[in-house]
Amino acid sequence: MTKMNKRKVVRLVVEAVTPLAVGSGEGNVMTDSVVAVDFRGLPYIPGTSLAGVLRHAVEHVSEMDVLFGKHDGINSTGSKIIVSEARIVDFDGSVVDGVIKNPSHELMNFYAECPVRQHVCINEKGVTDGAGKFDNQVVYKGTRFCFDLECLLDEEKDEGLFDAVLDVVLGAGLRVGGGIRKGYGLLEVRAISSAVFDLDKKEEMMLYLDYSSRLAAPDMKPVDAGEKADEKKYKSFLLKLSPEDFVFFGSGLGNKNADSMALTERYVHWDSNNEGTPKDGVVFPGSSIKGAFAHRFRYWYNVLDPSNEGEPAKGDAASRILFGTVDGKKQVPGLMFFEDVILDDKYSRKVFNHVMIDRFTGGAFPGALYNEEAVYMKGVPFELRFTLDLNGLNQRCANEGVDPKKVEDAIDLVERDINEGLLPLGGLTNRGHGCFKSVN
């Protein structure tokens, strides 16, 4: 076997297409889960998080233990891949790394307080599970990071295996951090540069030694993703919709105008000169869409595959397969990945006033007044995306005795309901909010 003494270094700039939730493992008085930050208080992605995601993404590729190493108690080997931390990119396109580059005041002010998302515990049926409520901090959509991947090329096959890792990064996108099935953590490559150093040659050895470990963004050129490696095991859905009227995805908070207001969040917009600008956005959170989708999916699966008298609903097993479940310490992740929708916040609001009704008498509770502030977005087009892990679906269905074709058919029926306005999304849908229709 031919031995080599080469190093391949790849530098990438990635952008958070959806908000990012790489947690620090700690909470504070404001939230249950705080994002990881560096010594300046700016968000970053630890190299361990990136390495773990990459290793999992290529587990279907044979011989990957050659690159990532293994530990089986007998023949243990170290990793040939070195992953750096991913450092934040300033609004002028420069990377904030080390103590040499001082971040702009605008960047420091923008990330001084990252947004907090409110959640309730949802089971596989798409309904609330007890009284569980929690929140977590996220990094703004549009945030860019820069990091290095380095591979020790000791054998001829190493470079081919490393290219398979890069195909995953350049393909359908990389999902990092927590909450990736409810709208968080989708990264896409915006710039890439690479170099191979032959350490047996003096001049290339000197170039490798001079290669700075301090991150600097490569030239921002269009990235050709080529064939997306993930397309073979994932099925993507794209729904082009527009609201029929008012939309209300609640923030869990109120303001001076109403007891409950729609969820809004800032994000970073990058122009053609690769300069970032903070903007305000209206958010349709993936977690809310996922809950409604799971509830309707269970209904349609039971219609397609009804239970015999006295048997439990077959949709329960299909829902657990598709959306995961938690049983004590045993956690089974879901197979559906939803994405947040964030649109420019340029739409008018209306405050709706209400009185609480006694369902027994049909009369009003004395003094029980409340209101909510909804967003008027009639005719505003947007795209709703979600993805299905086909390999995982086929494996779990085989183990559980569930027909994967019926699962996919039920998903298609839920998609049809959303397109035809039969499945409202968001909050206060029983009052007419959140109806959508398909647009060409």
The closest of 217, 202, 194, 235 to 276, measured between CA atoms, is 217
Task: Convert the pLDDT of each residue in 83-108 to its tens digit.
Answer: 999 999 999 888 888 776 788 999 99
Please check whether residue 17 is in contact with residue 183, taking contact to mean a CB–CB distance below 8 angstroms.
no
Q: What is the pLDDT of residue 141?
A: 93
Task: Convert the pLDDT of each residue in 119-150 to its tens digit.
Answer: 767 665 556 666 677 777 889 999 999 999 88
Task: Convert the pLDDT of each residue in 325-337 to its tens digit.
Answer: 877 667 788 889 9
Q: What is the pLDDT of residue 100?
A: 66
| pLDDT over 70 (residue 223) | no
> b or e along 37-48 (b: 16 or more beta carbons within 10 Å of the residue's beta carbon)?
beeeebbbbbbe
Question: Cα–Cα distance between 11 and 372 in angstroms, integer?
Answer: 47
Question: Cα–Cα distance between 386 and 275 in angstroms, integer?
Answer: 29
| pLDDT over 90 (residue 415) | yes
- The pair of three-digit structure tokens given for residue 386, joined into one six-digit string: 């979600």
Percent of the chain scoring above 90 in pLDDT: 26
Question: Cα–Cα distance between 193 and 11 in angstroms, integer?
Answer: 5
Domain locations along the chain = 3-227, 234-438
Task: Convert the pLDDT of each residue in 272-299 to its tens digit.
Answer: 888 999 999 999 998 889 989 998 999 9
Q: What is the pLDDT of residue 157?
A: 82
Q: Read off the pLDDT of each residue in 375-393 and give the average, rounded to a whole number.
A: 91
Q: What is the pLDDT of residue 123?
A: 63
Q: What is the pLDDT of residue 229?
A: 43
Sign of the C-alpha dihedral computed for residues 419, 440, 229 and 163 taken in this order: negative
Neighbour tally for 328: CB within 10 Å: 5
Question: Cα–Cα distance between 349 and 328 in angstroms, integer?
Answer: 43
